[in-house]
Structure 1
Amino acid sequence: MQFTPLLLRSLLECVRVIDNDPDLAANYLIRIRESTSDYGDPTERMAFYFAKALYSCVSEHHQLCSTSYNSLTSLLPEELTLCYKDVNASCGVNESRIDVF
């Protein structure tokens, strides 16, 4: 396969950007999967399966982030205030100086 170094560089680039820009990584991974096959030569199959696994990680990362955000936004104001106070107390912040909602 002539584009073996390109496949490997593309996978490495995905790994580099996956935390900072998961959407960009997902786009790279989709293109890699479209240009490879699980029936190709060993390098092509490796790229196909690595891209599939990395895409799964990106999807899972998005799901965890949206779940965390949704659970945070569903808190009652009183619960959010208690969480805020607990975090500040654990960091050593004096509660008497905190203006709460």
Structure 2
Amino acid sequence: MSVVNNVAALDPVAPQLAWSDTPFASLRSVRTDAWARLPAGYVRSAIHLSSWPDDDKLTACTVPRCVRYFVKVHGRQEFCRPSCGNRARAARFCHRHRADSGR
């Protein structure tokens, strides 16, 4: 666990307030070297994901070859994004029509 925390601390970040139509906060890195920020960003994301309060709603996308996870906001939600849903429906359609044609 100390290794994870040490990697996350490699890139200190500071919260920044931005204002467009509505205010929002983001974390800005103090470092300018992108290769130094990359591992720390991944580890911070993993820490945030593992401490998610609604971890029972965190679900893997059901489309084969998709490696994304998403927070399930509806009971029947199966896909991480609409393109994955389209890909799954197209695959089912193809599979049904191949079975009907005797291939």
**TM-score, length of structure 1 as denominator length:** 0.30
Structure with a larger share of its residues in strand: 2
Q: Which has the higher contact order (CA 8 A, sep 6+)?
A: 1
Structure with a larger share of its residues in helix: 1
CA radius of gyration, larger in: 1
**TM-score, length of structure 2 as denominator length:** 0.29
